[in-house]
Homo-oligomer: A and B are copies of this chain.
Amino acid sequence: MSKVTDLLGSQYPIIQGAMGVICNPELVAAVSEAGGFGLLATAFAEDVEAVREQAKVTKKLTNKPSGANLFMMNPLTENFAKVLAEEGIRTVTVSGGSPKALIPLLRDLGLKVIVVVPTVEVAKGAEGLGADAVVAEGSESGGVQGFKGVSTMVLVPAVVDEVNIPVIAAGGISDSCGYKAALALGAEGVQIGTRFIATKECIAHAVYKNTIVAAADTGTGLVNMLRFQIRALRTTLVERLLKGQESSMPDFTWQAMEDSWIKGDLEAGVLPAGQVAGRISTILSVREIIKEIVA
């Protein structure tokens, strides 16, 4: 057992990254069943009972451990944490802002805490706040990004040099070569997002999966959201946003994401993905992906 599998209770130190409305219980359970650690996403959840329901369904599908992500910009985060603990979740990741105010509650609830960090400074801060581990997320990752991003190749060993808690690498990883590279950089585990969208178990619409499969290495761009950026696939909507031809970004609501990510309406919202979309050319089962990574 590595420190990370010990922390997660999983067979392999492979976390499925939390991704908006498409971390359906079937996907999360499939990852945990295959030896990884599935994560429910709560970032855009609008009520506590929806989160409880997702945790309950996941638990029916697998008796292996799974977790959830808490996103600091969601005002219901504390309530979600309580519900997740009640439903038997033992480990959460925290992203989207400082976990300072939240960590004492998570400790009281008996939850293990993994903080997602974009820089060495934030990683040291998380360690100081009592995080059990960090996910060092390189700027090639999909979804929410800051403006001073550092690539996985630099960030992971830089964080490993500066903290004493386990470091989990994220950003640019989709297969065994990325996994081995992450371990060479000093990481003790990996978090993988985009690769798990292009799976049979993910609820994302075929148009989302196929856009990932079709993407080249240059197939993503950073869409400005004022306080942060979103790395997303270069759909025609994203190309217009990048060229300044749209007055504003579609709202990032649950409804907009459901319409674009699950119903396949490419004008309703952007489709987040990491640069690693350029290395994904198949839609596989979660088990096939994890088997190849650890082979």
Which chain A residues have a beta carbon within 8 Å of chain B's beta carbons?
Answer: 119-121, 138-140, 148, 150-155, 157-158, 161, 171-173, 175, 177-178, 180-186, 216-218, 274-276, 278-279
CB pair B150 A178 closer than 8 Å: no
Q: A121-B216, A177-B185, A178-B157 are in contact. Are A278 and B171 (CB under 8 A)?
A: no
A-B residue pairs in contact (CB < 8 Å), sample of 5: A140-B153, A150-B218, A151-B151, A151-B171, A181-B185
CB pair B151 A138 closer than 8 Å: yes
Which DSSP category, helix, strand, loop or mixed, fits chain A's interface?
Answer: helix
CB pair B140 A154 closer than 8 Å: yes
Q: A119-B217, A158-B278, A184-B177 are in contact. Are A151 and B153 (CB under 8 A)?
A: yes
Cα–Cα, bound, A95→B23 (Å): 43
- Which residues of the partner chain B approach A154 to less than 8 Å between Cβ atoms? 140, 172, 217, 274-276, 278-279
CB pair B180 A153 closer than 8 Å: no
CB pair A120 B217 closer than 8 Å: yes
User: Nearest Cβ in chain B — how far from A180, in angstroms?
Assistant: 4
Cα–Cα, bound, A157→B279 (Å): 8
- Which residues of the partner chain B approach A279 to less than 8 Å between Cβ atoms? 154, 157-158, 161
CB pair A158 B119 closer than 8 Å: no
User: Nearest Cβ in chain B — how far from A212, in angstroms?
Assistant: 13
Which of B148, B153, B217 is the one whose CB lies under 8 Å from A171?
B153
